[in-house]
Amino acid sequence: MSTTQYTLIPERVALAKMTYGYAASDLTSIKSSGLSSWVNAQLDPNLAEGDSCAKKLLGFKSLGMSVKQISAFDPFVKNSYSAGFELSSITVIRRLFSERQLFEMLVEHFNDYLHVPTYVAWQSRMPYDRDVIRANVLGKYPDMLVASSLHPAMLEYLNGNDNTKDAPNENYGRELQELHTLTSHAGYLQDDVVNAARVFSGISWDYDASQLVIDPDSHWMGAVSVFGWKNPNDGATPSAIRSVTESLVRYLALRPQTARAFSTRLARRFLADDPPSSVIDLMSAKYLQTGGDIPSVVKAMVAAPEFLLSAGQKVKRPMEYVGSVVRALKVELATAIQPGDASRTDDYFHDSVISSLVWYLSTQGQEPMNWPFPNGFPDKANPWTNLNGQVRRWNLGAALAHGWNDQDFHIPPYDQLLSGVTAEPAAVVDALSQLFLGTALAQADRNDILAIVSPVYDGSSAQSKLTQYAQTATSLILSLPTWNFR
Amino acid sequence: MTEQACGCPDFANTPAGLTRRTFLNGMLAMGAGLVISNTTGLRYAIAASGDNGADVIITLSMRGGMDGLMAVPILGDKNLARLRPTASVLDSQALILNRTFGLHPNLTTFKKLYDARELAIVHATGTPIGTRSHFDDQNSLELAAYGQPGSATGWQNRYLEAVGTTGVLSGIAVSDQTPVALYGEASTMAFESLDDIALSDIETDHKTYVDTLKRMHARSEHHWSQTAVDSLTASEALKQVKSNPTAKYPDSSSANRFKVLASLLKAGIPIKTAAIDFDGEFDVHSNAGVRSGSMADNFSDLSASVAAFKEDLGPIWRRVTIVTLTEFGRRLEENASAGVDHGWASAMFVMGGGVRGGQVVTKWPGLSESQLDSGDLAVTTDYRHVLAEILKVRGGLSSDAISAVLPSFVPKRLNITHPLHIGATVPIKRPTK
């Protein structure tokens, strides 16, 4: 069995890994700046999302709302699903259209790391994304973890609201260690879980007042120890209790086991399902040296020689497939996004364009933030490698390539995308291969694609010859195995 | 637009993915009809029961930690009543199974099946190592390769390998994602709905399009590509399967999954093993809702879904064995928020026409403090004993094959199944071509 050879230039390798997708202009930009400057620019807190993205976000009212405001916003009160759907929509728009591509990928990663599904906490999930994840993704992981530990969304999801001294609820105490910091390999014990639960007992979100309540009367008082951390835990004031929780979270966040778990998971996101331990060592060291500074660890990862050597080792998840097609073809939304309509409380946010994008991701099992378990969406290839995902993916690629769903998406004319290319099958196929892959097609793939593309033009369509060749060829190139890896 | 290539490794051959022993020429020569095989000469023509007359083995996973004491309470137990003041079934409301055990009142279908001797319960069962972690325990339960570090194949996939089946629809997950139990060398398919899984046409005849996509993927050895070849074969074969329920299913996502599986089996797709995730809230750290609420609703849905599935299957029911799985049961003592935290042993339900039902099989460990394992019901029957018996008796595996599917494990017979009578019950449905 022969193996098809596709070799990408380093800039394409880097962009495929660190963006949801890229167009020729992104390549030009990374080529002129160089890899490390490009990463620095992407991680600059002052980088703007860009006009195209900002304009699309204008209609979303919950973006700047507090938990209290969302809790009182009539359309969401009447139909709480709308709140989660609005966040899913905002998220998809940012991933597809923001110029802060690496930032958005990291936001997704940490939303998976400290996962809360949107349907669990409609009042607070949008603020969680904004105030816990986005506010800290260019800062230190311990700060993000502290913010998440007392946030109403996490208190709701992992049962902090139900955790009292008489019978501590262990859910958060366990996942804090298993998923958010040490991982189970570290060897913490059931006592550590119970003690962590005790530390957080008596802390809950008061939905009526929309505020955090730290109730010394329901807090378990007395000495606690968790995985080597000890605290007398004897202060009966809200601020004393709060500082004990923060001390525990920061302790766990800065363990070497956490550094390793954090680095493994991050490297799995960007390099390979089973990333090389040399990179993990280097990232862990950087993590500990910088007190868990996320951008520093990301930069260390990208600077490692293994980064560019891991070309094509990740299967694109559904979101990344959609993003890569949309961004490479410069797909635009066919209509301006309709703002929510407060008079339609049962169907507040009804924009069909965004609905179809969110729906598409949902049929492939990746509706933003709606994985049903606390560990976040799977990040290895196996779960995503199946009939459901593959056939739907090929069909979506063909639909976008042809503009079949033109009520939702606008594809720039191929005459513009391929300007200067002769309207002959081979010329069109070769140009598209350069556009998507930056390299020539393997001979066998080229022959197969040309065999289908060549007879396409029969003179009966109003579309140009070039457009017809390009639609068919694009559909086929998008289903090549190579295009489905990053 | 031309760019200089670097010395980066090739996209297609660097991934350290799985490869599969497939016979591509056979796949490409595929015809229409019910012959769904990727090896020429090996043809499946028997409805539902597959090629060797064995049962279709169906797993029903209740992810999140389904508590066995909520589903199958021990009657008149002071410890249970004392430690679960709210998160338990009252003795007066339980459906009585025998002098010792009852059933949750909403599991009415299970009671009927139990009385008809088509449902057996194994209690105080679970994984050999209880970590109380959802993710570690689900993973190791599905790998079922304890003491084999680095093992990356699931037990249902190894079952397919042991059977030697090469049909691309032999192993099915009615799901958006492939579950760990199906990971491995044998071809398996995952899809949650029969809608929108057919390849839409482009500007060529359908067969040319399908064959071209197959060829493009057959050139790469990556698991993604090899699965893609099989996905195409399967997608074509599934076109003839229509959703045609002849029973009224409840309106739930779990019921829809059963409905899809029933349609496949009724259409004669030669499935050997299938995986369904029951979509319920089992991780009840607060407000377990055993008497009314979360758990009560889960059990209503479960009961109604299984009832509809059985009715829909008709005579095929006699050739399926369903086994429920969960990563762990829950703590004996409920917490202050009327919920229950992670525990260890739970109960398993085994049902189907070939099940020696009407019995609760257990080596009951007891619920007094000294009998518990860190506060949890202790595991006295490794869940692999249940799987091993099903695979051997209803799946027709030899003892050697069992040890390949469940390595480093010595199974013992629980006597929860009737011997398989090959070809005895289901009329053979011939392919149309």
* DSSP-derived secondary structure letter, B158: H
What is d(CA B10, CA A5) in angstroms, rounded to the nearest whole number? 6
pLDDT(B12) > 60: no
The answer to whether the CB atoms of B6 and A309 lie below 8 A apart is no
Picking from B5, B177, B188, the nearest residue to A378 by CB comes out as B177
Radius of gyration of chain B (CA): 23
Could you tell me the pLDDT band of residue B425, with boundaries at 50, 70 and 90?
A: very low
Q: Please tell me the predicted confidence (pLDDT) of residue B52.
A: 61
Q: Which residue has the tokens 């930069």?
A: A299
pLDDT in tens, chain A (486 residues): 334 568 899 999 999 999 999 999 899 999 999 999 999 999 999 999 999 999 999 888 899 999 999 999 998 998 888 899 899 999 999 999 999 999 999 999 999 999 999 989 999 999 999 999 999 999 999 999 999 999 999 999 999 999 999 878 899 999 999 999 999 989 999 999 999 999 999 999 999 999 999 999 999 999 999 999 999 999 999 999 999 999 999 999 999 999 999 999 999 999 999 999 999 999 999 999 999 999 999 999 999 999 999 999 999 999 999 999 999 999 999 888 887 887 777 777 777 787 888 888 998 999 999 998 999 999 999 999 999 999 999 999 999 999 998 888 999 999 999 999 999 999 999 999 999 999 999 999 999 999 999 999 988 778 899 999 999 999 999 999 999 999
Cβ neighbour number for residue B66 with a 10 Å cutoff: 29
Q: A172 lies in which domain range?
A: 140-311
- How many secondary structure helices (H) and strands (E) does chain B include? 12, 11
Q: What ipTM was reported for this prediction?
A: 0.94
Q: Identify the residue with better confidence: B51 or B336.
A: B336
Contact A472 B11 (CB under 8 A): no
Q: Residue A416: which residues within 8 A CB-CB, separation 6 or more?
A: none
Quickly state the pLDDT bin for B3 (edges 50, 70, 90).
very low
The two tokens of residue A53 are 């993205």
Is residue A5 one of the residues assigned to a domain?
no
Half-sphere exposure of B154 (CA within 13 A, CB side): 24
Cα dihedral sign for A281, A285, A291, A296?
negative
Nearest residue of A to residue B217 by CA position?
A481
How much is the CA Rg of chain A, to the nearest whole Å?
24
Please count the residues of chain B: 433
- Domain contains A193: yes
CB burial of residue A259 (10 Å; 0-12, 13-18, 19+):
buried
B371 — contact with chain A (CB < 8 Å)? no
User: A367 and A105 in contact (C-beta within 8 Å)?
Assistant: no
CB B362 within 8 A of CB B388: no
Q: Residue A48 falls within a domain, yes or no?
A: no
Asked if the structure places residue B391 within a domain, the reply is yes
Chain B residues with CB inside 8 Å of A159's CB?
285-286, 337, 339
Q: How many domains does chain B have?
A: 1
pLDDT of residue A337: 84
For chain B, what is the largest distance between any 2 Cα atoms, rounded to a whole number of angstroms?
A: 80
Please, what is the angle between helix A318-328 and helix A81-97, to 10°? 50
Contact A190/B132, CB-based, under 8 Å? yes
Q: Using 50, 70 and 90 to split pLDDT, how confident is the model at B80?
A: very high
**Considering its fold, how many domains does chain A have in total?**
1
pLDDT in tens, B137-169: 999 999 999 988 888 899 999 999 999 887 899
CB contact under 8 A, B10 and A6: yes
Please indicate if any CB of chain A lies within 8 Å of the CB of B246: no
Taking 50 as the threshold, does the pLDDT of residue B29 lie above it?
Answer: no
Q: Which residues of A180-209 are buried (b: 16+ CB within 10 A; e: fewer)?
A: bbbbbebebeeebbbbbbbbbbbbbbeeee
Q: Which residue in the block uniquely carries the two structure tokens 């090899």?
A: B226
Helix/strand/coil percentages in chain A, nearest 5: 60, 5, 35
Neighbours of A334 (CB within 10 A): 15
* Segment B215-260, tens digit of pLDDT: 999 999 899 999 999 999 999 999 999 999 999 999 999 999 999 9
CA gap B368, B77 in Å, rounded? 10
* The two structure tokens encoding residue A312: 């094509």
CA A445 vs CA A13, A270, A473, B227, B228: distances in Å: 21, 28, 11, 18, 16
Residue A325 counted as domain residue = no
Residue A182, domain member (yes or no): yes
Instruction: Give per-residue burial for B202-236: e unless 16+ CB within 10 Å, then b.
Output: bbbeeeebbbbbbbbbbbbbbbbbbbbbbbbbbbb
CB atoms within 10 A of CB A242: 17
Q: What is the pLDDT at residue B112?
A: 98
Q: Which two tokens stand for residue A62?
A: 């919950």
| Residue B322 neighbours by CB under 8 Å, 6+ apart | B58, B59, B60, B306, B349, B350, B351, B352
The span from the CA of A74 to the CA of A341, in Å, is 11
Query: What's residue A166's pLDDT?
Result: 86
Mutation for testing the B interface, residue in A8, A120, A382, A432 having most B CBs under 10 Å: A382
For residue A337, the distance in angstroms to the closest alpha carbon of chain B comes to 27
pLDDT at B49 over 50: no
What are the CB-based long-range contacts (under 8 Å, 24+) for A274-277?
A274/B16, A275/A306, A275/A310, A276/A306
B150 φψ region: left (φ > 0), alpha (ψ -120 to 50), beta (else) = left
* CA distance linking residue A92 with residue A326, whole number of Å: 12
From chain B, pick out residues whose CB is under 8 angstroms from the CB of A456: 203-204
Q: Which of A164, A195, A165 is nearest to A177 (CA)?
A: A195
Residues 266-295 of B with CB under 8 A from A: 283, 285-287
Distance CA A326, CA A411 (A): 9
Alpha helices in A23-80 (DSSP H): 24-33, 35-42, 51-57, 67-72, 74-78
**3-class state of residue B173 by DSSP:** strand
- Give the C-alpha separation, A186 to A184, whole Å: 5
SS3 assignment, position B135 = helix
Name the pLDDT band for B196 (thresholds 50, 70, 90): confident
User: Is A371 a domain residue?
Assistant: no
Residue B209 lies in a domain: no
Look at residue A434 and tell me if it is in a domain: no
Q: Which residue of B has its CA nearest to A177?
A: B133
Rounded to whole angstroms, the Cα distance separating B51 from B63 reads 31
Beta strands in A273-390 (DSSP E): 332-333
Structure tokens, B338: 């009327």
> Does A407 reside within a domain?
no
Q: Phi-psi bin for B162: left (phi > 0), alpha (psi -120 to 50), beta?
A: alpha
AA identity, residue A305: P
Indicate the DSSP class of residue A161: G
Structure tokens at B294: 């979360």
Give B211 to chain A, closest Cα distance, Å: 10
Residues of A in contact with B173 (CB under 8 A): 386
Which of B9, B224, B7 lies closest to A311, judged by CA? B9
Residue range of the domain that includes B367: 63-139+172-179+248-254+270-405
User: Of residues B209 and A351, which shows the higher confidence score?
Assistant: B209
Q: Alpha carbon of A104 to those of A28, A42, A341, A380, B6: distances in Å?
A: 21, 10, 28, 20, 28
| Residue B58 within a domain | no
Q: Name which of B8, B223, B228 is nearest A10 (Cβ-Cβ).
A: B8
CB neighbours of A20 closer than 8 A, spacing ≥ 6?
A: A95, A96, A101, A104, A105, A319, A320, A322, A323, A324, A326, A327
Q: Which residues partner with B359 through β-bridges?
A: B120
Give per-residue pLDDT as tens, A403-450: 998 888 999 999 999 999 999 999 999 999 999 999 999 999 999 999
Encoded tokens for B414? 């629980």
* 3-class secondary-structure state, position A152: helix
* B residues 338-357 lying closer than 8 A (beta carbon) to A: 339, 341-342
DSSP B35-65: ---SSTT----STTT-TTSPPEEEEEE-TTT
Contacts of A336 (CB under 8 A, 6+ apart): A55, A56
Q: What sign does the dihedral B65-A161-B89-B104 (CA atoms) show?
A: negative
- Inter-chain touch B15–A485, beta carbons under 8 Å: yes
For chain B, the helix, strand and coil percentages under 3-state DSSP, each to the nearest 5? 30, 15, 55
Q: Provide the 3-class DSSP secondary structure of residue A318.
A: helix
Q: Which token pair is B247? A: 């029973």
pLDDT, position B20? 35
> In the structure encoding, which two tokens stand for residue B322, read together?
């369903």
- Indicate the residue type of B409: F
Cβ proximity of A303 and A293 under 8 Å? no
Which tokens hold the place of A25?
């202009």
Chain A residue numbers with beta carbons less than 8 Å from the beta carbon of B9 are 7, 309, 311-312
**A268 phi/psi in degrees, rounded to 5:** -65, -35
d(Cα B139, Cα B96) in Å, to the nearest integer?
Answer: 34
Candidate from B9, B190, B334 with C-beta closest to A387: B190
